[in-house]
Structure 1
Amino acid sequence: MKGLLFPTLKNYKKEYLKKDIFSGIIMAAVSIPISMGYAQIAGLPAVYGLYGSVFPILFFALFSTSKQFIFGVDAAPAAIVGAALVSLGIESGSKEAMQYVPVIALLTGLWLLLFYFLKAGRIVDFISTPVMGGFISGIALTIILMQIPKILGGKAGSGELPELAHHIFETCKEINWLSVALGVGALFFLRLSGKLIPKFPMAIVIMAVGVVVTLLFHVDERGVILLDAVESGLPKIHMFQFAGIDWTQAAGRSLMIAAVIMSETLLSENNFALKNGYKINENKEILACAAGNLASACVGCCPVNGSISRTSMNEQYEGKTQAVSITAGAVMAVVLVCATGFIGYLPVPVLTAIVISALMNVVELHLAIRLFKVSRNEFYIFVAACISVLFLGTIYGVVIGLLLSFIAVVLRATNPPRAFYGMIPGKEVYYDLKRNRNAYPIKNTIIYRFSENLFFANIKIFQSDIESSIKEDTKVVIVDAGAINSIDITAADRLEMIAKNFDKQGIHFYVTEHSENVNEQMRSLGIGHLIEEGKVRRTILAALHDAGIPSPCPLEISEKVHAVHEAMIPAEEENTLEEFAWAFGDDAVEEIEKKVHQVMEQLHKLPDLERLAELGIEEKLKNWHSLGAIDEDEILRRMELHLDELPENLRGDRKVILQLIEKRRCKIEQQLLIHHPEIVEHLKKSRERLEKRLEKQNPEAARKLHKWQEEIREKKEP
């Protein structure tokens, strides 16, 4: 268990202690009205809100990796439990409610424990920043709307925006203006101090002023609601009573609450962690939530959740670790034992102003403005996520948020950045023709870059772009697939069809620059033959060479560009080293063997090998033009090992074939020495490694080859 408990206290610094204790005292103070109010919404006596702010918050801190997040009795779970009681016909505060609510908390904790073992925290990976910001803002606005009636002199609202708006409207019919004055005045001073003296604990001062106002002016006699007085004493262990529980109803409600707690807590924690530069472990946070809810059930309280409003205040007062939660829990315990008397003198509108002020800091207005300026689509997603929470509630807000995130991905993927490339005189790379006025297309050639993974939703755009660019003189189409990391079966089938259509038109078609895993996908999707046919090349320049354009020259450009392309040939040689391994992966050796047999079959059909030995074989055997130096060298070596497989009528030409191979090998070295001498050393090392490998794979063939080579050398000697 070492390192698992209180992870945020690891390597604790002394300078944190003062701020953590101070912030913890404030958290305990503001939790008094918040937790008491939400406990009543959940159908429990107000004192159970205080009980839910002792052990649950401590058990959360025991496992949490979040340095700032504060746990406790909160709005969303309380509202869901309260609604469940209404649907079951259970009166709030009754014996049945006090039996049913802790069972819901217990089941919620067990559901969260299951989520922990299933590693469900990965849900956050699928939610974008606009969705997260809209979701958090929607929750904050919902809780603010719940609190507004308390400032007007009424009770807190519940439900979604229509119900909340209706409740506010009804409360406005009987407004207590003194309550409004106290609440609005407190909110004004809180916001003003937040601007002028942000680190000053104005919330505690406001609470103290509220008690003094009650004692001096007896505002309760003028209709201002005060907090209910509570009995002193720590919470007792709750004895669960399961008789008469509708388990189907309880399991369903608790599952919904667990999903809300997990989603709301993880989204909020990630939001605060991102803003303050630290990381959390999502799965451990689910475990912390499970521990907090099981502890809440054991003291007879309702399900508990992470609190955005209290966390925002903790951030304001610079709490550094979960020592804040430990302090808050300890302070709340002290209050319950010996300081409950003052609670009955706290004006509700003053305390409500403290909660609303904290929530106003949570609404991501700055993010909405930023998105509106830089990305209207993401701004609309932010607004949609916020509105979905306001109108449909947290759980549906999460579902809609996930859908919006996926929609955003699809929208981006179906209209990705893409461009046609050309060259600039004196430059050795390719440029977007639209963005660079000095770039020119390569003659008879189209180079198209597609910057997104290929799948069913965008392959039609891919095909349309290429086909609409074809001209009468087009001979080569090259796809720069450097940004493509995956393809699906729809895209694979369409690629195959595009390649066939271009074959019929006499146009060379290539896919280039992509990673090896795309080649693996192509083979698994049944279009590996495109690789074998040479339609998949490692670089754009390799594709140009393969298409017979060794020195591509832009239209009507000076001969200077021609020299640039000649200078690029060595780079192509370097990039296509061991291209078989890139193209065929684990099947590279098998494919090289196939290539060897193809060459051998061509040799069988050639009539005059003696004459060919004088001229060289590159003109007669077209296999060479699509190979890099290392690959070709390996094929030559493997050809030598297969000489004993020649038919009877060609075995007498073994010496000639060995000479052909040696001549070709020398030519490779000569070209490399001229264009790129450092690759020659790489080639020699590759030969040494290959020799050792081949001797292990086929020792008999290697022995025979050494024997033949020795015989040839002996005949050459005088």
Structure 2
Amino acid sequence: MLATIAQSSLFIRLCDWLPGLSQLLHYQKEWFKDDLRAALSVTAVALPVAIAYAQLTGVSAVVGLYSCVLPMLVYALFGSSRQLIVGPDAATCAVLAAVVTPLAAGDPQRHWQLIMTMTFMTGLWCLLASRFSIGVLAEFLSKPILLGLLNGVAITIIVGQFSKILGFRYQEPYLLERLLHTPQYLAQTHWLTLAIAILTLMFFILTKLMRPQWPAAMIAITVATYVSWALDLGDDGVAVVGSVSSGLPEFQSPVFDLGLTRELVMPALNLAMVSFISMMLTARSFAAKNGYDIDADAEFRALGFANIAAAASQGFAVSGADSRTAVNDANGGKTQLVSVISALVILLIILFATAPLAYIPASALGVVLVIASASLIDIKALWRLRKRDNGAFTLALITLFAVLFIGVIPGITLAVLLGLFQFLKVVMRPDDQILGINQKGILRSLGKSDKVKPIDGILIYRFNSPLTYFNAVYFKRRLLSAIATQTMPVETVIVDAVSCFSHFDLNVMAMIDELHKLLKKKNITLILAGRKRELIAWCEAAGVDISDGDIVIRPDLTMAVRMLPNYKVALSQGLAPQVRKQEDPDEVLAHSLL
């Protein structure tokens, strides 16, 4: 009996770590048909995209395939999303290339090893974030900032692929310089290379128009590859992928200066944050559509193990692939068995069918990358931000232009700092309200309605942020300013403690003591309403006197108002309604933000 219980407990813990395993163990056979169809569709989309992203990252085409197999299998076990497909992603590949290319100094082997090392570091950062449940830190990249970041990365990739589509090589590493030299580069156009790119684009568009459910990228790449093979275009100056080795990768440990590893630590952290946030946006949207929830820390852990698996299989960093996830969902994929089947099909191609990959034209892959990157561009969303929230629009534009003009990595770093500053601004300089009472006896914010009136001699103040050492002085200044602007003399100040006293801070308690002494000189009583037990303990710990005649602490706002002598007088004279013990909707909102 005890053994059975132990096994059951162990199984529950195992399922907590492996949500995908739990899904697969409860698999229903009627799902298989949909999962198989979705898996084949995902594979058809994943193959050309993985090869194209390998080119973007600067490694062999087969490395893109390596980056699909093991990570997909790992995520199928560790991930909590039923629809999400992990794999190479435009943003992650652009970041990898931006970091590693200058460090590799033109050495292909070192380039590959640095890619694997940075991928491994990215996985470690994700595991650390999951272990300490700090997935919330990644959310410093708010949606407006991420919108600007992805638009900037997409434009950078698109401009970079023009060299492959037109058949020349950029000499400048940065976007602005490339754009300035555009006329010179256009004069170097290789017309046969451009013709193959146009052919690829034409078949992609025709497939989308005539058979929207078919894998357009796969069909377009297949046609371009056949033409390249039949006409032997490689001998005519058309760049092709070249020989691709078959079979499983041979494990190799990185061999280079330790100093290069140090250069990868912070970029790997940036990559982990960008990958996680991009993945979570995709995972949450499809989870909401299909009626279930996902665990952010479990997803961070799954992403970490997937990237470590990618590094171990000689591949590069992966993230949530929105296009492949959309294909999975559109074809009725029910579980992570889709990832398992797709990974096995790609593995078979790696083992037995890599020879045709050698004839894939680089310009055709460039077209696929441009199309994939174009899906990241959302100018309409940026414009909607301008109308709804001008501050968010400004943040998005700053991030966008930073990525375009100072590079992907500095742009990401700036985006993280902007997100942090945005958070600190909200916490350090939050909004605040003065409360009054309406005709029904409910405490509400003044100014929202003419029916809400202040209570003579009483100032009820709410500060909508947790009080801590860096906003305590601002709180004091705002409260004193509110007292000074009152038309009637203030005898009592009631502070809504629930909205701002969230944790013990000696600096905050010292400020409250100073505020109390200052108000006492003006014959104003200070009352803290709410969190009575915590405040009494915190005052005692900080040495703040709460004896008779000093700071008063009440259980809640209603009680604090009812017990005031001047309120009782106003009530008896019919100048104020009876305060009802009903929670203020504004208060509910304020508390939910903590």
- TM-score category of the 2 structures, normalised to the smaller one: 0.7 to 0.9
1:303 has 2:316 as partner:
yes
Of 343, 347, 357 in structure 2, the residue corresponding to residue 329 of structure 1 is 343
Per-residue Cα deviation, 1:215-267 (whole angstroms, up to 9, x for no partner): 67776676544332434x3124335475xx32232x32453464244223211
1:246 has 2:260 as partner:
no
How many Å separate the matches in 2 of 1:539 and 1:349? 69
Shift in CA distance, 15/202, structure 1 to aligned 2, threshold 3 Å: farther
Report what 1:527 is aligned to. 544
Contact 1:463 1:498 in 2 (8 A): no
Q: Amino acid of the residue matched to residue 462 of structure 1?
A: R
Of 444, 448, 469 in structure 2, the residue corresponding to residue 435 of structure 1 is 448
Contact 2:283 2:320 in 1 (8 A): no
Report what 2:520 is aligned to. 503
Of 547, 550, 554 in structure 2, the residue corresponding to residue 537 of structure 1 is 554
How many Å separate the matches in 1 of 2:74 and 2:253? 20
Contact 1:226 1:346 in 2 (8 A): yes
1:357 has 2:367 as partner:
no
Report what 2:278 is aligned to. 268
Contact 1:152 1:180 in 2 (8 A): yes
Q: Matched residue of 1:536: which SS? A: strand
Of 152, 160, 163 in structure 2, the residue corresponding to residue 146 of structure 1 is 160
How many Å separate the matches in 2 of 1:281 and 1:374? 30
> Which piece of structure 1 moves more, 102-111 or 63-72?
102-111
Report what 1:451 is aligned to. 464
Report what 2:265 is aligned to. 255
Contact 1:28 1:331 in 2 (8 A): yes
Per-residue Cα deviation, 1:295-331 (whole angstroms, up to 9, x for no partner): 44555x3433226465465457444443333233222
Q: Amino acid of the residue matched to residue 147 of structure 2?
A: G
Equivalent residue runs for 1:548-627 within 5 Å? 548-553=565-570, 561=575, 564-565=577-578, 568=579
Q: Amino acid of the residue matched to residue 384 of structure 1?
A: I
Q: Amino acid of the residue matched to residue 238 of structure 1?
A: F
Q: Matched residue of 1:452: which SS? A: coil
Shift in CA distance, 71/365, structure 1 to aligned 2, threshold 3 Å: same
How many Å separate the matches in 2 of 1:203 and 1:221? 25
Measure how far apart 1:436 and its partner are: 1.6
Q: Matched residue of 1:400: which SS? A: helix
Structure 1, gaps ≥5 residues long: 576-718
Report what 2:27 is aligned to. 12
Shift in CA distance, 260/25, structure 1 to aligned 2, threshold 3 Å: farther
Report what 1:133 is aligned to. 147
Report what 1:65 is aligned to. 80
1:477 has 2:490 as partner:
no
Of 213, 238, 247 in structure 2, the residue corresponding to residue 234 of structure 1 is 247
How many Å separate the matches in 2 of 1:79 and 1:128? 19
Shift in CA distance, 212/430, structure 1 to aligned 2, threshold 3 Å: same
Q: Matched residue of 1:511: which SS? A: strand
Shift in CA distance, 203/180, structure 1 to aligned 2, threshold 3 Å: same
Shift in CA distance, 422/169, structure 1 to aligned 2, threshold 3 Å: same
Measure how far apart 1:179 and its partner are: 4.2
Q: Matched residue of 1:509: which SS? A: strand
How many Å separate the matches in 2 of 1:61 and 1:475? 64
Q: Matched residue of 2:444: which SS? A: strand
Of 62, 69, 76 in structure 2, the residue corresponding to residue 54 of structure 1 is 69
Contact 1:79 1:159 in 2 (8 A): no
Q: Amino acid of the residue matched to residue 336 of structure 1?
A: I
How many Å separate the matches in 2 of 1:104 and 1:354? 25
How many Å separate the matches in 2 of 1:348 and 1:294? 29
Contact 2:152 2:401 in 1 (8 A): yes
Equivalent residue runs for 1:292-441 within 5 Å? 292-299=306-313, 301-306=314-319, 308=321, 311=324, 314=327, 317-318=330-331, 319-391=333-405, 395-425=409-439, 427-441=440-454
Q: Matched residue of 2:494: which SS? A: strand
Per-residue Cα deviation, 1:381-417 (whole angstroms, up to 9, x for no partner): 2333344444555554454333222322232234433
How many Å separate the matches in 1 of 2:488 and 2:315? 75
Measure how far apart 1:110 and its partner are: 6.2
Shift in CA distance, 544/15, structure 1 to aligned 2, threshold 3 Å: same
Shift in CA distance, 401/236, structure 1 to aligned 2, threshold 3 Å: closer
Contact 1:478 1:509 in 2 (8 A): yes
> Which piece of structure 1 moves more, 187-196 or 11-20?
187-196
Equivalent pairs: percent with the same residue?
23
How many Å separate the matches in 1 of 2:545 and 2:324? 55
Report what 2:4 is aligned to. none
How many Å separate the matches in 2 of 1:314 and 1:156? 34
Report what 2:482 is aligned to. 466
Bigger relative CO (Cα 8 Å, ≥ 6 apart): 2
Contact 2:84 2:320 in 1 (8 A): no
How many Å separate the matches in 2 of 1:501 and 1:98? 66
Structure 2, gaps ≥5 residues long: 1-10, 584-594
How many Å separate the matches in 2 of 1:530 and 1:162? 67
Shift in CA distance, 548/290, structure 1 to aligned 2, threshold 3 Å: closer
Equivalent residue runs for 1:169-184 within 5 Å? 171-177=185-191, 179-180=193-194, 183=197
Measure how far apart 1:270 and its partner are: 0.6
Measure how far apart 1:168 and its partner are: 6.3
RMSD: 4.3
Measure how far apart 1:189 and its partner are: 6.8
Shift in CA distance, 349/24, structure 1 to aligned 2, threshold 3 Å: farther
How many Å separate the matches in 1 of 2:508 and 2:357? 67
Contact 1:511 1:537 in 2 (8 A): yes
Q: TM-score, normalised by structure 1?
A: 0.65
Contact 1:23 1:314 in 2 (8 A): yes
How many Å separate the matches in 2 of 1:46 and 1:31? 13
How many Å separate the matches in 2 of 1:366 and 1:154? 32
Contact 1:372 1:379 in 2 (8 A): yes
Shift in CA distance, 547/380, structure 1 to aligned 2, threshold 3 Å: same
Shift in CA distance, 388/381, structure 1 to aligned 2, threshold 3 Å: same
Shift in CA distance, 548/285, structure 1 to aligned 2, threshold 3 Å: closer
Measure how far apart 1:42 and its partner are: 5.6
